[in-house]
Amino acid sequence: MSSDQEQIRTDDKKVDDLTKEVRKLKDRCESYTSTIFALRGFILVIANNISSKSTSLNSSIGRKMTPLNQSNKREPYTPDLVIQLTPTSGIIGEVKALICENKDDRWNSYLEQVKKYDEDLEGWWTQDERISEVCQVFITELTNSAEIGDYLLKKINEDGNSLAHQFAVVEYGRLQRGREFLFFRKRGGDMPEVISSIFHEGVSFPLEELVTERDEKKFYDAKPADVEYIMAILWQDIFTQKVHERDQESVIYDENRKTFLLVVHLDELTQLLQRVYGSEGRKPREPEYPKKKWVEDALEKFVEIGLAEHTTDKNEFVIFYKDYKNPLEQIIKMTHKRKRKPSPPTQQLSFLD
């Protein structure tokens, strides 16, 4: 094979690798969004089915719950969802869209979390913030539910792992019947009678309704798997707006770099994302997301790939903004290139210099 042909093959492979990388990352981004839909959908399914039987349904996506045993003054737990079904019963839920491989029994960490949430927790919508009957629900995508569901249900029946409260595994997935639906079904375990039959048979919820009901939330109380997810949101929804909003004159165009110079501050940016797409954590027991660290990681990544730099204030950044046609792919290309590029060898200064 000639060297030209070899070069073409190498280039094709690079493009191929990048295309696969883009596709995988987009799938993970969409998975994160699906998780937010699953959280909201689970709450709405329950609310729609029992609202006539109950005067109100208090619920929260992410809620700081305090272990009753405060002897060590532990940090509150923050389950992904908390739903109070009746004045005396409720649900604590965790959603896992992506499940790691069970190498070296890594799934034991999921079991440990289940056991952790099995404690009596304060933070319910009652006078003393306590209730007597709690069901813990582990919600996971259809592709994972069989294996992880069987694993957890088997483990909790073993000696030493038994739980004080009810536990169930619920699977969710997309269903297409003319419209797109999100489908939920109990994989195994026990749930309160008031909702058990709903999930036993399976229930679907139109995704169009969830687009409205999620209130444009792009985050929940778990860090996205890829920093590029936050980077794309920042570029598309925040930086573009700051650079191009009408009558905006404070952003300078740098003729040398051929980019706009946009100054942003980590704290302000974090607060903006929380207010628009997440949770500010201002109300009692309300968690904060996205966390400041997630946003900081995203900004540092922009610096790493040459799309930003620090100012003298370590929390302030100058973004080198350009109008990219496809910012997410551009960002992935640049981070991908950065990963593939080997670090230059450090050179020792000649003692003669």
Partner 1 sequence: MGIKYPDPIIAFEEFAQASDSDSSMEFFLENTLALDSPFVECREALIYFKKDFGEFLSSSRHLTRFILEKINNEPLAFRIRRVISGEKETITGVFIVLKSSVQHIYRLITVSRGSFWTETIRPFLRDLYPYVSIVFFRQKELEDALLSLEKSMMVQYPSKVKTSVIEVTSKSEQFVPGSNKKRSVATERSWTNLSLGDTFTDLQERGFWFKSIRVKIVISASYKSSSSQRAAIRLSKNGTFSCNGMYGYMRRFLITPLEKILSERMQLLEGRGIIEREYKPGPPLEIVYEGEVFTDSSKVRQFGEVIGRYQDAAIVVYHANPYFHANIADHRDGSSFELWVLSQNRILISPQATASAQALTRIINFIFDKFKEGVVDEFRSGAN
Q: In what order do the strands lie in the sheet with 89-96?
A: 58-61, 81-86, 89-96, 133-141, 166-177, 179-189, 203-206
Nearer to partner 1, 86 or 330 (CB): 330
Cβ at position 241, least distance to partner 1 in Å: 4
Q: Find the binder of partner 1 among 3, 55, 72, 176 (CB under 8 A).
A: 176
Would strands 308-310 and 316-321 be described as parallel, antiparallel, or unpaired? antiparallel
Tell me which DSSP letter residue 91 carries: E
Nearer to partner 1, 21 or 237 (CB): 237
Number of residues that bind partner 1 (CB under 8 A): 41
Q: Find the binder of partner 1 among 326, 337, 338, 340 (CB under 8 A).
A: 326
Nearer to partner 1, 103 or 325 (CB): 325
**Residue 160 makes contact with partner 1 by CB under 8 A:** no
- Give the span between the Cα atoms of 353 and 338, in whole angstroms: 31
Nearest alpha-carbon partner for 188 in 159, 147, 160: 147
Cβ at position 35, least distance to partner 1 in Å: 14
Site stretch for partner 1 (CB under 8 A), options 2-10, 50-58, 131-139, 239-247: 239-247
- Alpha carbon 228 to its chain centroid, in Å, reads 12
List helix spans (H) across the chain. Answer: 3-50, 108-117, 142-156, 193-201, 207-213, 227-233, 240-244, 266-277, 292-304, 327-340
Cβ atoms 19, 13 nearer than 8 A: no
Look up tokens 């799309």; give the residue. 307
**Residue 235 makes contact with partner 1 by CB under 8 A:** yes
**Residue 180 makes contact with partner 1 by CB under 8 A:** yes
CA triple 217-221-224, angle to 5 deg: 80
**Residue 211 makes contact with partner 1 by CB under 8 A:** yes
**Residue 197 makes contact with partner 1 by CB under 8 A:** no
Nearer to partner 1, 311 or 326 (CB): 326
Q: Find the binder of partner 1 among 7, 109, 143, 212 (CB under 8 A).
A: 212
**Residue 232 makes contact with partner 1 by CB under 8 A:** yes
Cβ atoms 252, 260 nearer than 8 A: yes
CB atoms within 10 A of CB 212: 10
Look up tokens 């290139």; give the residue. 337
**Residue 246 makes contact with partner 1 by CB under 8 A:** yes
Nearer to partner 1, 213 or 316 (CB): 213
Tell me which DSSP letter residue 128 carries: T
Site stretch for partner 1 (CB under 8 A), options 68-76, 177-185, 252-260, 340-348: 177-185
Cβ at position 101, least distance to partner 1 in Å: 25
Q: Find the binder of partner 1 among 54, 113, 240, 315 (CB under 8 A).
A: 240
Cβ atoms 63, 82 nearer than 8 A: yes
Backbone angles phi, psi at 340, to 5 degrees: -75, -25
* Per-residue binding letters, 31-60, with partner 1 (x by CB under 8 A): --x---------------------------
- Give the span between the Cα atoms of 300 and 26, in whole angstroms: 21
**Residue 344 makes contact with partner 1 by CB under 8 A:** no
Kindly identify the residues of this chain, within the stretch 9-28, that bind partner 1 according to CB under 8 A. Answer: 26
Tell me if residue 308 falls in helix, strand or coil.
strand
Residue 306 neighbours by CB under 8 Å, 6+ apart? 320, 334
Kindly identify the residues of this chain, within the stretch 305-324, that bind partner 1 according to CB under 8 A. Answer: 323-324
- Give the span between the Cα atoms of 294 and 300, in whole angstroms: 10
Cβ at position 211, least distance to partner 1 in Å: 6
User: What residues line the site for partner 1 (CB under 8 A)?
Assistant: 26, 29-30, 33, 174, 176, 178-180, 206-209, 211-213, 215-216, 232, 235-238, 240-246, 248, 272, 275-276, 323-329
